[in-house]
Amino acid sequence: MDPEQVDEFVMGYLKKKGFNNAAKQLQEALHHNNGGTFNSTDYHNDPELTKLIRSFSQSENDPTRYRDGYSKLRSWAYNSLDLYKHELLRVMYPVFIHCYMDLVGKGHTQEARAFFNSFRKDHEMIHLRDLQKLEGVLVPSHLEEMEFARSLRQSKVNIKICQYSYDLLLQYLHRTESTLMLGIINEHINFQVYSGQPNSSSDDIDAVTIVGSFQETADHINQKEIQWGLLEDSLEDRLEKTGSLLSDSEKGQGESKDGDVDDSKKRSNEIGKQGSSLKKLKKDKAGNATAKVARQETSIVSPAPRVKPELALPVMSTDVEESILEDLRNRVQLSSVAMPSVSFYTFVNTHNGLNCASISHDGSLVAGGFSDSSIKVWDMAKIGQAGSGALQGESDTNDQNVGPNGRRNYTLLLGHSGPVYSATFSPPGDFVLSSSADTTIRLWSTQLNANLVCYKGHNYPVWDVQFSPFGHYFASCSHDRTARIWSMDRVQPLRIMAGHLSDVDCVQWHPNCNYIATGSSDKTVRLWDVQTGECVRIFIGHRSMVLSLAMSPDGRYMASGDEDGTIMMWDLSTARCITPLMGHNSCVWSLSYSGEGSLLASGSADCTVKLWDVTSSTKLTKAEEKNGNTNRLRSLRTFPTKSTPVHALRFSRRNLLFAAGALSKPAS
């Protein structure tokens, strides 16, 4: 090989790999040497350079290079010191998937499958769903046709690693001359190198993140301005202006004043009695000190700004408005030293048929959606009169389901033709919405016990449906990767929100009704403007599918729970994760903020309800902000159940926490 050929080969290689600056400098150096070659270098007699050029010029079509290079890198990483091993192993997954996709892209299908099957077990625990998607990438055309594969190819992975781990990796790659692995790492991984000792494997939720074209899109979207405040002239706003929010001691004096109540308020009165006893109990236990601490914590946060509604909101009836105002006046102030009482509704004899549960805003009604396409609604007041505390999910012929008057203790709603995946009550409790695998959403009346409307628009199973905080409007999300906004009086959707790359699994309204949030199997959460239908925020950070969402009462923060048991708190204005809340070891199915927003409750498939101190979790010291250490566990209390995964949670307006789940047989 003569010198000119060497120069041309090196120039071509640099341009092919995207090293444009290096190619430009080489070209300038060649022109500087009168258009010739480097006279000071003897290409033929320099063994190091000759060896390097030969390694570059060897056939790139040899599929065994990928397996050999990855296998050696894997062995080296697993045999490293334990102090650095967990950081070095972070590199393996992106290298693995890009080796596989490179093999597929070059047409080595059989070698790609063998490579994939040989090493997939290393990554199944954390990346099982991603691997299941990659398994379908079999031919080069799939790399462009499948959105998941295309997004991986176009993006980079951001990996945090300490300086010493980074030096170890570079030394290995250069010492072993692993040019193929070095090229993959250089092309698809960005290292964020920090000084000092490596963090523990669970310390940093942002240790591995996706960047690139998608991240650039998210950053651009997250620059949009949003109005996260509360609505003008809301009920809470009126109470604040008139000073009608009472202290705990003032509530105790006025609890028994309303003696004459019409029939429409019986349900709220039932729960009012529970709230009354709860408040007296708290006063006996904590005294005036508790009330002072609670007021101090809630007064630290600046009041939320007021915004105008973008939707034409329904007019609230006087009776409902008075009932809500009475509940708000008698709300118990919660804090880290004033815990709520929890009322847990347990479904028995469901035979694994319960898919979802929902609790009305005052806790008086409980609904369950079942795999046999039925919905059952229980009235807690009637169950209390019958003397039965369990919610039976068994067939209608079971004697335990029949009350003393010969009737069922629940209302059976039939109409869907597939499993029911979600149910939600309207704020007053007079309607129930349900969504199903039959692709429809149905509106039911709890007063008539009948189906009123069937909404058709989604093309695949509808995973979740949620009423807006003021009723009338509702949002749904589906396997078709869209979310839709509806109104009760129209059978067609008002808005369609498209943008997620996979199933949209959960949906939640913002308190001011101007936005909805959606959580997806693509591991992201998005915030949408209901007026324009545009995405105004993308929240990136979860490592598994997002299953639950909750908005803080002031509209400032959002919590999201995923399949791995991680809960992340987000600042809506900046789209940044304030803190991850780690404690659950299984799916987080439900989240709910307390009325004043000081506590967050989470329900999980690990059969526990956890309470988190939100006020302290959102306050970071300057040192923590500087070091980037935001993993502040603020778990206040854990309520374990015997063997009942928690399907639903709701704080009532008086701050009594309701929960529901189906009793399951413990694994033997």
Residue 252: inside a domain: no
Residue that is last in its domain, among 195, 221, 238: 195
Token pair 């651009």: residue? 220
DSSP 453: E
Backbone dihedral angles phi then psi of residue 86, each to the nearest 5 degrees: -65, -30
Q: What is the pLDDT of residue 126?
A: 78
- Nearest to 581, CA basis, from 614, 554, 536, 548: 614
* Spatial distance between the Cα atoms of 331 and 298, rounded to a whole number of angstroms: 13
* Spatial distance between the Cα atoms of 543 and 562, rounded to a whole number of angstroms: 8
Backbone dihedral angles phi then psi of residue 76, each to the nearest 5 degrees: -65, -45
Residue 360: inside a domain: yes
Q: What is the pLDDT of residue 468?
A: 92
Cα–Cα distance list, 168 to 71, 82, 161 (Å) = 17, 13, 11
Q: Provide the token pair at 46.
A: 């320099």
Per-residue burial over 438-468, b if 16 or more Cβ lie within 10 Å, else e, is bbbbbbbebeeeebebebebbeebbbbbbbb
Residue 112: inside a domain: yes
* Spatial distance between the Cα atoms of 5 and 50, rounded to a whole number of angstroms: 13
Distance of alpha carbon 553 from the chain centroid: 18
Q: What is the pLDDT of residue 215?
A: 64
Segments of the chain with pLDDT less than 50: 36-41, 43, 203, 212, 246-300, 387-388, 394-400, 621-633, 668
Q: What is the pLDDT of residue 354?
A: 92
Q: What is the pLDDT of residue 259?
A: 39
Token pair 């943008």: residue? 499
State the distance between the two ends of the chain, measured CA to CA, in whole angstroms: 70
Residue 17: inside a domain: no
Q: What is the pLDDT of residue 77?
A: 92
Total number of domains constituting the chain: 2
Task: Give 197-202's long-range contacts (Cβ < 8 A, gap of 24+).
Answer: 197/83, 197/162, 198/83, 198/84, 198/86, 198/87, 198/161, 198/162, 198/164, 198/165, 199/160, 199/162, 200/86, 201/86, 202/582, 202/631
Give yes or no for a contact between 207 and 159, defined as CB atoms under 8 angstroms apart: yes
CATH for 169: 1.25.40.500
CATH for 607: 2.130.10.10
Q: What is the pLDDT of residue 502?
A: 87
Residue 521: inside a domain: yes
Q: Provide the token pair at 272.
A: 């009012």
Q: Provide the token pair at 466.
A: 């949620």
* Spatial distance between the Cα atoms of 644 and 667, rounded to a whole number of angstroms: 12
Residue that is last in its domain, among 178, 195, 212: 195
Backbone dihedral angles phi then psi of residue 560, each to the nearest 5 degrees: -135, 140
Domain of residue 61: give its range.
56-195
Q: What is the pLDDT of residue 151?
A: 79
Residue 377: inside a domain: yes
- Nearest to 459, CA basis, from 424, 407, 504: 504
Coil, helix or strand for 195? coil
* Spatial distance between the Cα atoms of 203 and 199, rounded to a whole number of angstroms: 6
Q: DSSP letters of 303-314?
A: PPPEE--SS-PP
Q: Provide the token pair at 99.
A: 């080796």
Residue that is last in its domain, among 179, 195, 211: 195
Q: Name the strand (E) or helix (H) holding 613.
A: strand 608-613
Cα–Cα distance list, 7 to 30, 37, 41, 203, 496 (Å) = 9, 7, 12, 48, 56
Q: What is the pLDDT of residue 273?
A: 43
* Spatial distance between the Cα atoms of 441 and 169, rounded to a whole number of angstroms: 54
Residues 6+ away with beta carbon under 8 Å from 470: 313, 314, 316, 427, 513
Token pair 């404690």: residue? 583
DSSP 239: H
Residue 206: inside a domain: no
Residue 35: inside a domain: no
**pLDDT, tens only, 139-177:** 888 888 887 788 788 878 888 889 999 999 999 998 988
